[in-house]
Chains A and B, each alone.
Chain A
Amino acid sequence: MPALSAGKNAFWPGAGANLSLTYGNALVTAYASYFVNLKNTEYQGYENAFRGPGFGTAWILITPQPIGTLRLQFRMGAFSEVAAGPGQWGWGIYGPLLAVRGYGEAIYGDWDMTPDLHLTFIHGLAIVPGVPESFPRGDYFAWIETGTSSYVHHAHVGLTYKNQYTLKLHYASDYGTDERTYLNTALYELPRDGRMDTFLAETRWTSYPWGQIGLSGGLYNFAHAASVGDGIWWGIDWTQGAREMIGKFIGSGSHGNGKVAVISAEYDFSVAPILWAPRSFSGQAPDLRVAVAALLHFTVATDDPLYKKASGYYLGLETEYRMTSLFSVMFKSYGESRDSNFGRYSVYSVNPGIAFHSDWWSTDRIELYYSRRFYSTAADPNSAQPLDHHMVALGGYITF
């Protein structure tokens, strides 16, 4: 422990708790989340100071009285926003295609244009303060970040028809000014100002009892983005910030310049509602839940010759057969494959598991998974310390 692996896991590999506290009324609400992870020598094996505890998110939300059919909200604080996830509720197996973060504000609008047609919009600004140039990377802080300050502007507009068809457009730009006086960029180049822009479209069809299909896609544009911090928090498959997006999708020889196109789709459905139709299914009976996802990405432009016309895909299948109110059987399988400096980077896994829960609708689970994993040479290049091909995970969680 921890397991040496690459690729997507069927289970969350951490251990900890998150305390979410809200105070307010219908007009003004404060929210703060406080995270605590097992980080001490007794459980972590060493004192891992990076793992908290600490405040993660905090914001203040204003919800004024509606103006006719227009509902507005204003949020100010330290928080993140996600967008363009093809899964249910905007997430999915491979996550949203965009997340932004920082200290800032966001304005939310929801307008009932007609009884069937809703217009939603979000506009936000966020700032991620920079890291001092003399901050000792690699000290207690394992992850070496670009560390330039980020200035994020994001805007979103969407239409929903009959709560069944959804179309949303998302835009986010992350601008970094880089004044490092002696450090170079992660690409070993001189720093200079850069930006990362994201243009995404999100569509969704939801219909009972057939489930939901989400299709999202768009373009990431990088311009000297090695100097851009991680105000854009997630891109493809939770890839963090411009620096990691460059490393995975446009190459370290790109000088931070390039374009990546992406399309991500997911279908989520339950078998029981289909079989029970036209009767409604309450969820308090055996069911088979299925999610199927696929994501394709293409490097449209890059200065790195090794990544010209590079491409890759992610495939995912998650199923859960809820046999009784107390017991479920799961099967999850993932695959990812993409071009890299060292050839084709591929990881595949099959992950059967079982889960115990206290009721049909309970939010508690105890899970046991076995994972069989397959790697290409590019994904597992170190023969002296090969990645694990067999993994077992036992854990539990509860939300309240």
Chain B
Amino acid sequence: MPSLAMAADDGLPRLGLSPGEPQVRSATPSIPFGINPAESKEFVLDFHGYLLLPATLGVHNRPVTQRTDLINPTLPNGDPNYDYTGGGTVLHAPPLMAQDLRSFEYTGAVPTPWGQLNFIYGNKTVSGTVIMAASTFSDAAGYYNIPAQLGVNDAFITVNATKYFGFPLQLYVGAYTGRYGAMGAYDAGRYATPLIARTNSIGETITTGYKIGEFFLVLEEGLGGQLGRPPIGLIPAGWNDFADANVGATFVGHVHLGLAYGGLGRLGLHYLAAWTQDDQVASGLVPNGQITVLGADAQVTAGRYGHLYVGVAHTQAKDAATVSGAIEILNARGGPELIAQYLGPNSNGNGSLTTFGAQYDLSVARLVFGQLYTGMSPDVLVSLFTVGTSVSSDDKDYNGVFKVKLGGEATYLMKSWLGVSERFDHVRLHGADSKQAFSIMTTRLLFHTGWRSRDEFALHYSYFQSGSGIVAKTGFPPGSGPDANPDRHVFTLSGTFWW
């Protein structure tokens, strides 16, 4: 099994994450999720899974307040037994923090629940995959949140036609995600955010390659759409994930060109276009919407010198309010969330994002000992990461906004079972405005069952230092309730395991 900065396999160079891989980051040390296609000639059933199970609470000082809206007249105000006077320390689960996955503020420093079970049946030529997933577990949840129980989240057929054509050719058909701009060696990176784009569609993806000496030219093409669209008249509600009936049927096409050199690195060019030309929208005749992304990235797997990823992307939105979540930009689903998070309500979905990102991961033991280091002895892992985006929008209040987040993490694996990690994140949501900036200092105590185990148990403490303009979204959906001051202290106890 490769460890950090070692090649995962000898197949086609990866232009993004494979559909079956979880988007959340892998546990320390970073190793592949191990979801390779079946290698058997015979049909076999393969079973993989990933669990991330955190218990998280936020600690805050509650101001002394008193509600006066008592509706039971038999209980008089002023009675100390029944008046709510608050004050003192308060606990929050989930914590009140500026960590909305769909927003730029998200860092992934505080884990949230995720589970998936991958069932794969097939052989090395053809296989079918069904992935059931959830971001909640009912026996521990406060309520049954339908959208968080994703059910069958992905279902697709994989065909490896290499033996028929004499050159690498892989085909995906079905419902699956495409993640481009994965900053980590084997995951979406420390921010768990595909830098260039993510597609959520039912369709096809064809990947082929041609080897010229040490070079490997990779070409990938994909086309798909969503299974349905919110029907006209649908009222946004919790059960339908607050669907926007104004988005139209959306399709996404994408093409990617990569050039890899041995196991050393890869260059990639990416073009994605999502569009809608639907006349069935509640608001009447609307212009066709489009979101296009042009991106380039490079990753260098420099052996003992670590893994480096650098990427840029330019996202152009044109009347994007009607484009659905078939495409995600920085985890924002489609035009409505792109407008809400970046372009502004008065943009009419017109604007652009110019995004850059980089991540560098280094194993100090591997740097010092080279190939002698096998991952079975103490190590220090260093990771540096950043993402920034510049907004150009027709909404003057949002035009010119520059958002950036950066951070670093150092992990000392001192024993096969024990490690300690320190991570720092700084997020600026509006350029130099320090009121809209916050920092997170996260200390983690890590426990594993072995040097290269696929499990991790961690005790986290995160300290949030927030500017006065930073609020935690509350309500259902988040943002519909009163904004709240974020918690300063967040404690997490988490377990992770994948197979």
Question: Which residues of A are in contact with B by a Cβ distance under 8 Å?
Answer: 21, 23-24, 27-28, 30, 32, 34-35, 49-50, 52-60, 62, 74, 76-80, 101-105, 125-136, 139-141, 145, 147, 149-151, 175, 177-179, 181-182, 184, 187-192, 229, 255
Contact bitstring B176-215, A, C-beta under 8 A = 1, else 0: 0000000000000000000000000000000000000000
Residue in A57, A129, A133, A139 whose CB lies within 8 Å of B93: A129
Residue in A27, A134, A145, A184 whose CB lies within 8 Å of B142: A145
Residue in B54, B67, B90, B136 whose CB lies within 8 Å of A181: B67
Contacts A78-B141, A130-B94 given; 19 further ones with Cβ under 8 A?
A24-B499, A30-B51, A54-B144, A55-B137, A55-B149, A58-B53, A76-B457, A101-B139, A103-B137, A104-B55, A125-B493, A132-B474, A132-B476, A134-B480, A135-B238, A136-B237, A150-B93, A151-B93, A190-B83
Q: Are B69 and A182 in contact (CB under 8 A)?
A: yes
Q: Are B75 and A189 in contact (CB under 8 A)?
A: yes
Q: Is B62 an interface residue (CB 8 A)?
A: yes
Chain B residues whose C-beta falls within 8 Å of the C-beta of A34 in the assembled complex: 117, 132
Q: Are A49 and B481 in contact (CB under 8 A)?
A: no
Q: Are A192 and B84 in contact (CB under 8 A)?
A: yes
Q: How far, in whole Å, are A74 and B474 apart by their CA atoms in the complex?
A: 34
Query: Are A127 and B56 also in contact (CB < 8 A) when A62-B449, A136-B238, A151-B91 are?
Result: yes
8 A-B pairs (CB sep. < 8 Å): A28-B449, A28-B453, A62-B457, A132-B478, A149-B92, A179-B86, A181-B67, A189-B72
Chain B residues whose C-beta falls within 8 Å of the C-beta of A177 in the assembled complex: 90-92
Q: Is B47 an interface residue (CB 8 A)?
A: yes
Q: How far, in whole Å, are A299 and B116 apart by their CA atoms in the complex?
A: 45
Within B128-168, the residues touching A (CB, 8 Å) are 132, 134, 136-144, 146, 149, 151
Q: How far, in whole Å, are A52 and B495 apart by their CA atoms in the complex?
A: 25
Interchain Cβ contacts within 8 Å, total number: 204
Q: Is B26 an interface residue (CB 8 A)?
A: no
Q: Are B475 and A134 in contact (CB under 8 A)?
A: yes
Q: How far, in whole Å, are A136 and B474 apart by their CA atoms in the complex?
A: 14
Q: Are B140 and A78 in contact (CB under 8 A)?
A: yes
Q: Is B463 an interface residue (CB 8 A)?
A: no
Within B26-65, the residues touching A (CB, 8 Å) are 47, 49, 51, 53-57, 62
Chain B residues whose C-beta falls within 8 Å of the C-beta of A59 in the assembled complex: 53, 495
Q: Are A23 and B499 in contact (CB under 8 A)?
A: yes
Q: How far, in whole Å, are A76 and B448 apart by their CA atoms in the complex?
A: 13
Q: Are B481 and A103 in contact (CB under 8 A)?
A: no
Within B68-91, the residues touching A (CB, 8 Å) are 69-72, 75, 81-84, 86, 90-91
Query: Are A21 and B49 also in contact (CB < 8 A) when A27-B449, A132-B475, A139-B237 are?
Result: yes
Residue in B69, B92, B143, B481 whose CB lies within 8 Å of A147: B143
Q: Are B139 and A79 in contact (CB under 8 A)?
A: yes
Q: Are A141 and B143 in contact (CB under 8 A)?
A: yes
Q: Are B84 and A190 in contact (CB under 8 A)?
A: yes
Question: Which residues of B are in contact with A by a Cβ distance under 8 Å?
Answer: 47, 49, 51, 53-57, 62, 67, 69-72, 75, 81-84, 86, 90-94, 113, 115, 117, 132, 134, 136-144, 146, 149, 151, 237-239, 449, 453, 455, 457, 474-476, 478, 480-482, 493-497, 499
CB distance from B141 to the nearest CB of A (A): 7
Query: Are A54 and B499 also in contact (CB < 8 A) when A78-B113, A179-B62 are?
Result: no
Chain A residues whose C-beta falls within 8 Å of the C-beta of B237 in the assembled complex: 136, 139-140
Q: How far, in whole Å, are A49 and B241 apart by their CA atoms in the complex?
A: 13
Q: Are A140 and B146 in contact (CB under 8 A)?
A: yes
Q: Are A79 and B453 in contact (CB under 8 A)?
A: no
Q: Are B55 and A127 in contact (CB under 8 A)?
A: yes
Q: Are A188 and B72 in contact (CB under 8 A)?
A: yes
Q: Are B84 and A191 in contact (CB under 8 A)?
A: yes
Chain A residues whose C-beta falls within 8 Å of the C-beta of B475 in the assembled complex: 132-134
Q: Are B142 and A149 in contact (CB under 8 A)?
A: yes
Chain A residues whose C-beta falls within 8 Å of the C-beta of B136 in the assembled complex: 54-55
Residue in B49, B67, B93, B143 whose CB lies within 8 Å of A145: B143
Q: Which of B51, B93, B139 has the most CB of A within 10 A?
A: B139
Chain B residues whose C-beta falls within 8 Å of the C-beta of A78 in the assembled complex: 53, 113, 137, 139-141
Query: Are A76 and B494 also in contact (CB < 8 A) when A103-B53, A135-B238 are?
Result: yes
Query: Are A127 and B51 also in contact (CB < 8 A) when A32-B117, A103-B113, A136-B476 are?
Result: no
Q: How far, in whole Å, are A127 and B57 apart by their CA atoms in the complex?
A: 8
Chain B residues whose C-beta falls within 8 Å of the C-beta of A189 in the assembled complex: 70, 72, 75, 82
Query: Are A135 and B139 also in contact (CB < 8 A) when A76-B495, A126-B55, A188-B71 are?
Result: no
Q: How far, in whole Å, are A187 and B81 apart by their CA atoms in the complex?
A: 14
Residue in A54, A101, A131, A141 whose CB lies within 8 Å of B134: A54
CB distance from B145 to the nearest CB of A (A): 9
Q: How far, in whole Å, are A285 and B292 apart by their CA atoms in the complex?
A: 73
CB distance from B259 to the nearest CB of A (A): 38
CB distance from B118 to the nearest CB of A (A): 11
A-B pairs, top 4 by smallest CB distance, nearest first, are A76-B495, A54-B149, A78-B140, A78-B137
Q: Are B72 and A60 in contact (CB under 8 A)?
A: no
Q: Are B55 and A105 in contact (CB under 8 A)?
A: yes
Q: How far, in whole Å, are A76 and B458 apart by their CA atoms in the complex?
A: 10
CB distance from B475 to the nearest CB of A (A): 5
Closest to A55 in B: B134
Q: Are A76 and B53 in contact (CB under 8 A)?
A: yes
Q: How far, in whole Å, are A50 and B495 apart by their CA atoms in the complex?
A: 27
Query: Are A149 and B55 also in contact (CB < 8 A) when A104-B493, A188-B71 are?
Result: no
